[in-house]
Structure 1
Amino acid sequence: MKSYSPILLFTYNRPRHTRQLVESLLANKEAAESPLIIYSDAARDDSSQVGVEEVRHYLHAISGFGSIEVIEREENLGLARNIIDGVTTQINRYGRVIVLEDDLIVAPYFLRFMNEALDMYKDEPRVGHIQACDFTKDATLPDTFLIKWTGSWGWATWERAWQHFNPDGKALLQQLEERRLTRTFDFDGTYRFTRMLRRQTEGKNNSWAIRWNASLFLADILSLNVGRSLVQNNGFDGTGTNCGSGGLYDSALWLKPLPVERISPIAENLEARRSFARYYHRTNCFWAKALRRIKRTLKGDFGA
């Protein structure tokens, strides 16, 4: 019988989002044979306590998976520590993992794709990450392609690749600067990933994802990405750690099977990289940001 990869689900205090994600997972036939391991972070303050308790009550009522394990944190770790610890623990146990946060919705063929991709590239050292969300909406992208960039919305990896993860943002930033790779890391200057990493080192954000991105980038390890999105981010409603995209990262779910075919040679798809650079330039240039700010102001949103 086929062995399915464990699904790691990271939750906090959003019961509605958590329920929507679990229901979307259950629409995948592979869920019935997949281990589900849920990490429930503890409340950061009194205002979060009710939501955390409601989420935990729901988690213990879930059924329909191959097995279910709920790990309730006794202290608030925050998203970064929760994910780094959870992924490290379970990848050492299983050798590979599929990772989801509570504000995502997945397509009915998400688990099939992730498991097939994990099998297909398990012994390919230059592929270290699988990303199942596409927000560029670029119809010219192929179904799957290789790129030096790791998205964090519905992803998977193997133990051999996670060993490259370096939680030391200062060391990663130093390497990027010494090797003069910051502009390439930033998609030719169209998105400030280097700034995001620098802000992490300054304590202005606590992103695990930028450190994972930089770790594989510096190791010259590629990600298998999709041109048809099997994941939708449902968290840009003001409830999440990072929210308020203004629709920049909306994606329509691809509701049909997405084939996994071995890409040869194992090399970055440069046209896909150019597509990302065009997307980031179009959405992050001065005038695009100014227009979004005006629209937010007209709606009464006076946030940053």
Structure 2
Amino acid sequence: MKDFVCTTPIALIIFNRPDLTQRVFAEIRKVRPEKLLVIADAPRPNREDDIENCALVRNMIETIDWDCEVIKNYSPIHLGCGRRPATGIDWVFSLVEEAIILEDDCLPHPTFFPYCQELLKKYSDDQRIMSISGNNFQFGRRRTADSYYFSRYTQTCGWATWKRAWQHYDFDMKLWPEVRKGQWLFDIFGSMQVANHNDQPQFEVIGGVRIAQYWYRMFEAAYHKKIDAWDFQFAFACFLQSGLHILPNVNLVSNIGYGPEGTHTKDMGSSLANLPVEAIELPLKHPQFIIRDAWADTFLQANNFSC
């Protein structure tokens, strides 16, 4: 780790939380990336305190004291926590082929960076792999001694991906009406059994219908902009590509943004709030095969995606 050189571009998404941003920025400073792409939203028009806080956060970027190419994308108008990250990541991949992406409340362990950098290189041309996450929400459960496993679920509180994967992203989810009409979510989450007398397929996998219904609600809300989010759209894009995601077998990133100021993370009692991080052993131990860990996914779905 002491000899690690972060040659992978890091994208940092900032807004109005100087205390949180300072903690995340301190971890980035430790690995001294060669390229830093900074995405910032403008202050909200009805919040005077945003003007000062956004300025404090942006001033941190001016304190970089290592050899680093800094490229800024500061919005002149407030776009919100859905469209601003989406347009910002679009911008990132107009400039680079791969990136590590952190938001201002995603606090990484130092080994998160070499973990991402190695796997971005290893799977750069593998179209099956859509992202690399720093999150582990298995609470100590693990199936192998490998450093990571494969999941159908993307986790984007500290993650990395490629331009080739992000190209499938569509903030407006224009394919959702077709997917909804054809009930394609049941093909993803269910198991087709026999047709009934109306030739309608029956999906009878345990929990499959309930899981599909959860994602139906989330995608319907995202499509109609009833939730101000960008990550459900990425999950949707990845499902449509039958994509896989890499998740570590230890937790490498903690979401420190739970609390009153959080937009989607107000519940400080959440089991996902301020999770401890630990080092991933280097060099990484790679799986010998690429098979989705359905056992881990079932646990993740039940605990994270079943509201």
Identify the TM-score tier after normalising by the shorter chain: 0.7 to 0.9
Q: Which runs of 4+ in 1 moved over 6 A?
A: none
Equivalent residue number for residue 16 of structure 1: 19
For the pair 1:39 / 2:14, whether they are aligned, the reply is no
Structure 1 residues 225, 55: closer, same or farther in 2, change over 3 A? same
| TM-score, structure 1 normalization | 0.83
Q: Which structure has more helix as a fraction of its residues?
A: 1
* Kept after mapping to 2: 8 A contact 1:41/1:73: yes
The one of 267, 271, 277 equivalent to 2:301 is 277
Equivalent residue number for residue 165 of structure 1: 169
Partner of 1:88: helix, strand, or coil? Answer: helix
Deviation at 1:140, TM superposition (A): 2.0
For the pair 1:210 / 2:214, whether they are aligned, the reply is no
Deviation at 1:203, TM superposition (A): 2.3
C-alpha distance in structure 2 between counterparts of 1:280 and 1:69, whole Å: 35
For the pair 1:254 / 2:256, whether they are aligned, the reply is no
Between Structure 1 and Structure 2, how many residues are aligned?
Answer: 280
Equivalent residue number for residue 106 of structure 1: 108
Matched AA of 1:213: A
* Kept after mapping to 2: 8 A contact 1:39/1:70: yes
Matched AA of 1:53: A
Equivalent residue number for residue 233 of structure 1: 255
The one of 232, 245, 254 equivalent to 1:223 is 245
Structure 1 residues 177, 132: closer, same or farther in 2, change over 3 A? farther
Q: Deviations over 1:242-286 (max 9, x none)?
A: 1123222132101343553443433312222222234348xx57x
User: Any stretches of 5+ residues in structure 1 without a counterpart?
Assistant: 286-304
Deviation at 1:2, TM superposition (A): 7.1
**Bigger-Rg structure (1/2):** 2
Matched AA of 2:24: L
| TM-score, structure 2 normalization | 0.82
Q: Deviations over 1:198-257 (max 9, x none)?
A: 112222112210010011111101111112111000000121221123222132101343
The aligned runs of 1:88-127 (5 Å cut-off) are 88-127=90-129
C-alpha distance in structure 2 between counterparts of 1:259 and 1:147, whole Å: 22
C-alpha distance in structure 2 between counterparts of 1:164 and 1:92, whole Å: 14
**Over the residues paired in the alignment, what is the CA RMSD in angstroms?**
2.5
Structure 1 residues 84, 116: closer, same or farther in 2, change over 3 A? same
User: Any stretches of 5+ residues in structure 2 without a counterpart?
Assistant: 191-206
Deviates more, 1:68-77 or 1:222-231: 68-77
Structure 1 residues 92, 185: closer, same or farther in 2, change over 3 A? farther
Equivalent residue number for residue 144 of structure 1: 148
C-alpha distance in structure 1 between counterparts of 2:170 and 2:224, whole Å: 16
Matched AA of 2:252: L
* Kept after mapping to 2: 8 A contact 1:36/1:65: no
Q: Deviations over 1:71-90 (max 9, x none)?
A: 32211122222222222222
Identity of aligned residues (%): 24
* Kept after mapping to 2: 8 A contact 1:113/1:257: no
